[in-house]
């Protein structure tokens, strides 16, 4: 009985050692991608060409075209569905976004006691998308690249612009147009096509919802499908130097109906000039 206990203990210790080593390698990759984002050009003063409702939103958030910024970073505590119809899993994430050019790196982990059960990198760097997941930080369970992934990640960058008011005012990759009394569309070209996201503003001028048509999504069968994509934002607060929605959620409109797959809150917002 005692021998069995020591064998289990040694196995746990071995797994912890392997995970620490894998975590360091994984973190090194993330930091390398983040460094590339921080090397991109800073924001430029382009807000004069923006629709008033869009420019007003960004300025009220604290963005200033006279203060160029390269990147922003923040933490997330969230719940994520790993497959359609599946249960939500609690995750913790750190994200870096570039502001003068489109790009982001999202490093998420699913805690499992002292271990990390699942580690996910979701990134859009240099116009190329990357999605990778590893079990216990070592065993690959998902990996995706290609033009469809590039386009899907471009959609994500656009959808998260409420968390990037400096990019709204100063990213020349983006083109805006008013589509209704309380809606505006933003576009960005990619190698696969043009990503488009429409935002809805409330009576106070805050962005409260987004939607997009035909966003690529990788199914559990490995096949890429195109689904309409919806999200909402809320609970605006001052975080660091910006007034931002602290809550956000997104989901797909599947043939069976709409289903949220991510919902979470952000904190610890920092800007890098």
Please state, as a whole number, how many other Cβ atoms lie within 10 Å of the Cβ of residue 85: 9
At 50, the pLDDT band (50, 70, 90 cuts) reads: very high
Residue 84 has pLDDT above 70, yes or no: yes
* Cβ partners under 8 Å of residue 180, min gap 6: none
Which pair of structure tokens corresponds to residue 126? 């240099």
Residue 154 has pLDDT above 70, yes or no: yes
Q: What percent of the chain has pLDDT over 70?
A: 84
Distance CA 169, CA 179 (A): 19
Q: 3 vs 76, which has greater pLDDT?
A: 76
pTM of structure:
0.89
Q: Do 69 and 88 contact (CB within 8 A), yes or no?
A: no
Mean pLDDT for all residues in the chain: 88
Residue 114 has pLDDT above 90, yes or no: no
Rounded CA separation 46/67 (Å)? 12
Distance CA 231, CA 91 (A): 19
């Amino acid at each position: 009985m005692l021998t069995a206990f020591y064998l289990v203990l040694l196995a746990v210790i071995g797994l912890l050692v392997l995970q620490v080593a894998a975590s360091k390698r994984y973190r090194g990759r993330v930091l390398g991608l983040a460094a590339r984002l921080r090397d991109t050009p800073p924001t430029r003063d382009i807000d004069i060409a923006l629709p008033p409702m869009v420019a007003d939103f960004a300025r009220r958030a604290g963005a200033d075209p006279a203060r160029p910024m390269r990147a922003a970073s923040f933490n997330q505590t969230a719940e994520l569905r790993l497959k359609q119809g599946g249960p939500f899993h609690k995750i913790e994430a750190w994200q870096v976004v570039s502001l003068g050019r489109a790009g982001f790196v999202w490093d998420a982990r699913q805690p499992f006691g002292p271990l990390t059960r699942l580690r996910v990198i979701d990134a859009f760097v240099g116009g190329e998308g990357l999605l990778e997941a590893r079990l216990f930080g070592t065993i690959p369970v998902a990996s995706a690249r290609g033009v469809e992934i590039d386009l899907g990640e471009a959609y994500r960058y656009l959808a998260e612009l409420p968390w990037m008011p400096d990019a709204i005012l100063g990213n020349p990759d983006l083109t805006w147009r008013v589509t209704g009394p309380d809606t505006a569309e933003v576009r960005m070209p990619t190698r696969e096509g043009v990503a488009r996201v429409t935002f809805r503003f409330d009576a106070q001028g805050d962005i409260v919802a987004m939607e997009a048509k035909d966003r690529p999504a990788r199914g559990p069968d490995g096949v890429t499908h195109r689904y309409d994509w919806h999200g909402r934002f809320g609970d605006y607060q001052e975080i660091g130097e910006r007034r931002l929605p602290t809550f956000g959620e997104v989901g797909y409109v599947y043939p069976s109906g709409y289903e949220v797959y991510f919902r979470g809150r952000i904190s610890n917002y920092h800007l890098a000039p």
